Amino acid sequence: MPAQPDVPAPLRVLMISKACVVGAYQRKLEEIAAHPDVDLTVIVPPAWGDQPLERSHLQGYRLIVEPLRLNGNFHLHHYPRLGRRFEEIRPHIVHIDEEPYNLAAYHALRLARRSGAKALFFSWQNINRRYPPPFSWFERRVLRHADHAIVGNREAVEVWRAKGYEGPISVIPQFGVDPDIFSPPERPHRGKRFIIGYAGRLVPEKGLDLLIQAVARLPGDWYLRIVGEGPQRDELRTIAGLLNIGGSVSIEGALPSAQMPDFYRQLDVLVLPSRTRPNWKEQFGRVLIEAMACGVPVVGAESGAIPEVIGEAGLLFPEGDAIALRDRLLMLMQDDALHRDLSRAGRARVLEHFTQAQIAARTVAVYRQMMGRGS
């Protein structure tokens, strides 16, 4: 019999990710695990802040729940029993799904080096921010010893190069969407009332006051649905009342991730009116790709990574310009052909660039590159 070619053993990958408490995000984990040369274990906390662990997509990999110390503290949280898991799993690669200035990232990197594993970190950071000790020490150590970096937008490459990271960097969003779950309705929603939507945090940098001012200038029959939680809730209600549009604006609580596709399918347009702050600018805008996957046209401010995500498949307006935002919404209200074209273009852009399967495949290619196995 002819000799059989040697098949390399699967790569043992240990991912540490508080973000994966969200059920919809676990679909990427299934897609990574579907690659036969990857043996994936993912460590998550029982909750992150107010978000409990959702168990939605668990096929093909091991999900381990580890107690988290200082839960909700972005910079200082960590897993005190993580060392035991390294001893059990003996990973080849440690995927640290954390910013490099966090204690969790520093702790995981130390354990990876001690066990002889290669390590990568993930970052959304698109502003060159400086941190005091000990966070600057954590960051410096991670940048010096990480074998690879994955960043969620192009500006983040410039940030980490400026901070001294010299290793390989790949631009891959943290998560994509499942186009079978986030899909257009069987019958496109185009009722008599034009439904405008927003989903996300209710904070000043998201520009919701601007959105309310813009819709107040719209003619015709429209309704604004704002879904999310945050300290600006009462202020936004007050603004709507002062503009005499309180009856046309609903400010609802956050929805579980499993309910988001139905929310998008009820909309005629999703708006992300973010504004840049000295210490923050939009790093991606996940709601954009979720809405686009559902066939909902999107309108976004020219802020941070929003133009990078939307491309030519939606409408942009100058950051902070309520009149320009009103005009973009009016175009979609009055031009059925434009609305239809953007609905199709948005879905097509997601299928080309932002599915969970594509994000997973690009991530696995990084793993192979780190271990010298090619792509």
The CATH fold assigned to 194-353 is: Rossmann fold (3.40.50)
DSSP sequence for 259-325: GHHHHHHT-SEEEE----BTTB-----HHHHHHHHTT--EEEES-TTHHHHHTTSSEEE-TT-HHHH
Query: Where, residue-wise, is CATH 3.40.50.2000 in the chain?
Result: 11-176+355-370, 194-353
Helix, strand or coil for residue 230?
A: coil
Q: From 227, 251, 216, 223, select the one nearest 237 (Cα to Cα).
A: 251
Pairing of strands 222-227, 194-199: parallel
pTM above 0.85, yes or no: yes
In the prediction, which pLDDT does 29 show?
A: 98
CATH number of the domain located at residue range(s) 11-176+355-370 in this protein: 3.40.50.2000
Residue in the structure block whose two tokens are 């690659």 = 35
Are the C-beta atoms of residues 14 and 95 closer than 8 Å to each other?
yes
Positions in the chain short of pLDDT 50: 4
In the prediction, which pLDDT does 24 show?
A: 86
